[in-house]
Amino acid sequence: MSGQTPQFGDLSIGKAAADEFVRLPRYPALFEIRAARMKTLAAANPAAGFLGLMVRVFSAQADASLLAGEVVPPSAEAIARAREHAMPPIATDSWVPTATYRAALRFIAANISRDGLPQATIDVLAGLGEAPDEHLDNLARAHLESAIPPHWQGEAIFAVAALQVEFARIASLLPKEAIKPLDAPGLCPCCGSPPVAGVVVADHAFGRRFLSCGLCSTSWHYVRVACITCGTEKDVAYQEIEGGDGVAKCESCDDCRTYSKIFYQQKNMAVEALCDDLATLSLDLMVNNAGWKRHAPNPFVPVI
């Protein structure tokens, strides 16, 4: 025996993923986090102007989230009833426009800095400031029913911003243990809305995919390597821009011909589903050109 210890290279056996189904939104911190992330991403993006507007929207959401006013979370009884029927406890179709929503929308419209914005945006913001309650309510309904008329598409994204504040606030008050998967596991278990994208996390649930709701910002677990639209595991592939850093990919399904985005936190801890989705619209363009349709739109870029 020479007494030498044999040397081996690193061999990763991985980390055990915690069994967690839902992550409720971190209200109101999430809007600050988004504003900061969007600011980082916007600078080098081809759509820097539009993403710059998004930074202002997220900052305004952060301020609007501190406004006074009560929201009413569903009663324990209502949550139990929703759970019994595998329905979302704060379903969008039973939502009635509230004073807090209108206040948030008016606040956002008034407090976005006009400096350097296109005249069209400034006009839309001015119009929103003067609009009656009824119009604001109609904008919210149009978004929640995915039926935004073309001439409302500018205003609608600010209504979305106010709705996000409202729904994230209610969702953050829900009892986590009462939230269970819906019969349609690709929809938000809190409000029933479609996700903007999925994130493969690198924290205590290492390697698991969490979808992120485009409305209430709840994240929920969805098994990896399975189409979030039709559930098949067979014809799923990952599309990314050649030579890319592997952070953003599109999970495409050859069965139902849809795709959804997936971000790998292991490659970049800072990824945030909504911001990174908006910052990778070029990937959407390429994958759409290749013949797949997006599973559901990003609420800030509703229809092309």
Partner 1 sequence: MELDRRSFLKAGGGAALASSMAVLGFGEDQKALAQAVRPFKLARTTETRNTCPYCSVSCGILMYSLGDKSKNAKQEVIHIEGDPDHPVNRGTLCPKGAGLLDFVHSKTRTKYPLHRKPGSDKWERVSWDFALDRITKLMKEDRDKNFVATNPEGVTVNRWLTTGMLAASATTNETAFMTWKTVRSLGMVVFDNQARV
Which residues in this chain contact partner 1 in the complex, by CB under 8 A? 11-17, 19, 46-50, 53, 117-121, 124, 150-151, 153-154, 156-157, 205-208, 223-225, 233, 236-244, 249, 254, 281-282, 284-290, 293-294, 296-298, 300-304
Task: Kindly state the smallest distance separating residue 192's Cβ from partner 1, in Å.
Answer: 19
User: Please, which residue, 20 or 32, has the CB nearer to partner 1?
Assistant: 20
* The pair of three-digit structure tokens given for residue 238, joined into one six-digit string: 């990952």
The alpha carbon dihedral of 123, 129, 135, 136 has a sign of positive
Backbone angles phi, psi at 50, to 5 degrees: -65, -40
Among residues 78 and 301, whose Cβ is nearest to partner 1?
301
Q: Which residues of 52-88 are buried (b: 16+ CB within 10 A; e: fewer)?
A: bbbbbbbbbbbbbbeeeeeeebbeeeebeebeeeeeb
Minimum gap (Å) between residue 171 Cβ and partner 1: 24
Query: Cβ 14 to partner 1, closest distance in Å?
Result: 4
Phi, psi of 259 (to 5 degrees): -145, 160
Nearer to partner 1, 86 or 285 (CB): 285
Cα distance between residue 240 and residue 137, in whole Å: 39
- Looking at the Cβ atoms of 1 and 303, the one nearer to partner 1 is 303
Nearer to partner 1, 135 or 224 (CB): 224
Give the integer Cα–Cα distance in Å for 215 and 297.
Answer: 12
- Does the bond joining 28 to the residue before it have cis omega, within 30 degrees of 0? yes
Smallest distance from partner 1 to CB 160, Å? 9
Report, in Å, the least distance between residue 89 CB and partner 1: 25
